[in-house]
Amino acid sequence: MTQDEARARLDEFRVSIDEIDRRIVELINERTRVVEEIGRVKREAHLPVYEPKREEQVFENITSANQGPITPEAVRRIFERIIDEMRTIQRLKIVTPPEDSQC
């Protein structure tokens, strides 16, 4: 394979990666909308944001669904980061009541 052929193939792969990345962002935003609803329910019921047992269930779910080639450990690390961001969203945007409702 020549360098020009290699560059052309890499360009094709990168187009695919860009499309996949956009789909991932779409799914993360969909997940975030659900998390916001969960946060509202937790706020109304005075439940804590952090639920270690639920997080372990999420980790079990995603690692059991993983068919590879990414390792279960890598999937868990990715979801640890996602869950951390979701907790932040719940704390900052959901758990704290909107300012206008405090009047």
Q: Is residue 98 part of a domain?
A: no
Q: Is residue 46 part of a domain?
A: yes
Q: Which long-range contacts (CB under 8 A, 24 or more apart) does 36-41 make?
A: 36/89, 36/90, 36/93, 36/94, 38/90, 39/89, 39/90, 39/93, 39/94, 39/95, 40/94
Give the mean pLDDT of 12-40.
96
Summarised one tens digit per residue, pLDDT across range 36-87 is: 999 889 888 989 989 999 999 999 999 999 999 999 999 999 999 999 999 9
The boundaries of the domain holding residue 31 are: 3-93
97 vs 47, more confident: 47
Residue 55 belongs to a domain with what CATH number?
1.20.59.10
**pLDDT band with cut points at 50, 70 and 90 for residue 91:** confident
Q: Is residue 99 part of a domain?
A: no
Structurally, the chain folds into a number of domains equal to: 1
Q: Is residue 31 part of a domain?
A: yes
Q: How far apart are CA 92 and CA 77, in angstroms?
A: 23
Give pLDDT, residue 103.
Answer: 46
Q: pTM score, two decimals?
A: 0.82
